[in-house]
Structures are given as C-alpha cells and as structure tokens.
Amino acid sequence: MKIWEVIYNTIAGEKPDNPVNEDTAENPKVLNGATNIIWDIGNVLYPFSRVTEEYYALCNDAHVELALKIFPMLSPEEAQYLVHECYYTFHDCYGAFIPVITHYGMDLEETRLRLFKEHYAILFELLIKHCPDVFGDTTELVDAFRAVAGRVKHGILSQCCMESFGIPALEKLGIVSFFDPEAVLGLDQVGFVKKAESTKPLREVLERLKADPEHTCFVEDTLPNLERAAEIRGLHCIYINQGKPLDTVPSFVSKQFRGPADFLRCFQ
C-alpha cells in the first residue's frame, strides 16, 4: 500500500470510488422518531474523492518537518520512520512519538497536544491550497441542513482537531451554525480516546446534546467506529458510503446512504 493511501485511511476512512446512486432511499422504520444526529466530518460531511495524491505526499512531508521542529534531537530518517509508524501502526499523528516524548522527559500532554493541533492546522492549509475544490458546491448540503433546522439537533464527534481543522471545514461547508457548539468534540477534547476504542467519547456528545440513544443517529464512514458505537443500546448507526455501497451490510449498521444530504432527506 502506498503512503498516500495510508494517510488517506488515517484521516478519512475508506477511499470512495466513482459515486453511484445506490441505497439512498428513505427508511422510516430505521429513523422514525430520531431527533438528534452526531456526525463525523471527513469523508462524511464532505467527500475525499477530490483530494489528490499530491496532497497526501505533501501531508507526509509536512508531518516530518513538524516532527523535526518539535523533536530536534531526531534525524530526518528517524522522523520519517516515526511518521510512517504513526500512519501504519497507530492510525494517528502522534502515537509513534510518545516513546520519544517519554525518553526525553518532555511533558506528554503538552507535547502531544501541540503536535496534534499543529499537524491538523497544516493539513487544512494544504487542503485549501492544493485542493481548492474539495468542498465543492455545498448548496445541496446547506439546503438539507436548513430543511431540518429546529427539528433535529446536530453534534460532532471527530478524530481531527476541531480548532485547527474541523471548525474551519464546517465554515467552508457553510453549516457550522447548525451545530450545537457545546456538542462539537475533537479527539483532544475527549482525552485522545478513539471512537473504535471506547463508547465513552460518543456518550460524552450524547450527554452534551441531552440526547437519548433511541432518538439519535451516529453518522460515520468507518465501520470499526460504528461497530463500537452499536454497543450503545438503541443508537441508530448510519454508514455514509460516498458512492461505494457495502455489498453486505453488517448487523450493527442501521442503514447506509451515499451522502449526508441523502440521509437528511429522511427527516424532511
């Protein structure tokens, strides 16, 4: 697997193929009574199909450069190896650097948070510069959110940094105002506990939305995250396939949709 493919999987989940109109029909039995939605961001609220291989290569190089700034004791070769390990083994931007932080007596929480925030700030800057059309025409998405305004509450649970990536992305999409600001959480805001590891982060968003699981949909593009979320009794687990529908839908997936606008039409 090429490094850009691994970076893509780390940031956004499976890479979609060409979009097709499949499995986007309304299913009232699944969504009946749902009044809350907790969203992922990347490859859910916007597709990554417009992102280029060049972007992922630039992300890799920028990650190495950032590592050398934060950990000047490393050689370029060591930094590249650890970045590679982050993507392939830890599926994040910091995991492989924790032994370095510990070995040199650096503050773990402070250093990890700095690496995390600065990494995602760079990713967003590169995305806007090299993939200016990534967010595309968001009219359909904005209209879909507007159509359910006042009837559905929205929250976010993302593994990106909301401050340096997530909120700017929502602003670019034109939908930031539809979300409850108290229920918009990134990985750093849930103690760096990943969605596939525990239901605790998701329960935190549910609590902030004052939402019960039976009336809540959790919308994702990553099956392990949905599988863990399904441990919360009554929660509706929604899979966004971005034009690459699942041939076999796992039992923990309530329904799959091509994109977020298709899903929101079920509430109209």
pLDDT for 160-196, tens place per residue?
999 999 999 999 999 999 999 999 999 999 999 999 9
In a domain, 164, yes or no: yes
The domain of 66 spans 53-130
- pLDDT band for 56, please (50, 70, 90 cuts): very high
pTM, 2 dp: 0.89
Q: Are 27 and 249 in contact (CB under 8 A)?
A: no
Confidence at 49, pLDDT banded by 50, 70, 90: confident
How does 82-93 read in b/e, with b if 16+ C-beta sit within 10 Å? bbbebbeebbbb
Q: What whole-number distance in Å separates Cα of residue 63 and Cα of residue 123?
A: 9
Q: Do residues 68 and 121 both lie within one domain?
A: yes
What CATH code is carried by the domain that includes residue 171?
A: 3.40.50.1000
Per-residue model confidence as pLDDT tens digits over 199-234: 999 999 999 999 999 999 999 999 999 999 999 999
Does 235 share its domain with 166?
A: yes
Q: Looking at the domain assignment, is residue 243 inside a domain?
A: yes
How far apart are the C-alpha atoms of 230 and 220, rounded to whole Å?
Answer: 12
- Nearest Cα neighbor of 165 from 110, 103, 99, 93 is 93
Residues 254 and 219 in one domain: yes
Q: Where are the alpha helices (DSSP H) in the chain?
A: 3-12, 28-31, 53-70, 76-85, 98-103, 108-130, 139-147, 167-173, 200-209, 223-229, 260-264
User: What token pair was written down for 124?
Assistant: 């967003």
Compute the distance between CA of residue 164 and CA of residue 123 in angstroms, rounded to an integer: 9
Residue 2 lies in a domain: no
Instruction: Report how far residue 49's alpha carbon sits from residue 134's, in angstroms, rounded to the nearest whole number.
Output: 8
Helix spans in 167-247 (H): 167-173, 200-209, 223-229
DSSP classification of residue 104: T
Residues 109 and 82 in one domain: yes
Look at residue 33 in the predicted model and tell me its pLDDT. Answer: 85
Q: How far apart are the first and last CA of the chain?
A: 42
* Whether residues 63 and 122 fall in one domain: yes
Is residue 229 domain-resident?
Answer: yes
Report the SS3 class of residue 146: helix
Strands 36-39 and 236-240: unpaired
Sheet-wide strand order for 255-257: 179-185, 153-157, 36-39, 216-220, 236-240, 255-257
- Structural domain includes residue 97: yes
* Same structural domain, 84 and 168: no
Which residue shows structure tokens 């971005």? 242
Q: Taking a C-beta distance cutoff of 8 angstroms, is the pair 237, 229 a contact? A: yes
237/159 same-domain check: yes
Residues 112 and 224 in one domain: no
- Angular region, 182: left φ>0, alpha ψ -120 to 50, beta rest: alpha
Confidence of residue 268 (pLDDT cuts 50, 70, 90): confident
In this structure, the answer to whether residues 108 and 146 fall within a common structural domain is no
Whether 62 and 175 share a structural domain: no
Tell me how far apart the alpha carbons of residues 174 and 12 are, in angstroms, rounded to a whole number: 20
Count the domains in the chain.
Answer: 2
Q: Is residue 1 part of a domain?
A: no
Is there a single domain that holds both residue 82 and residue 214?
Answer: no
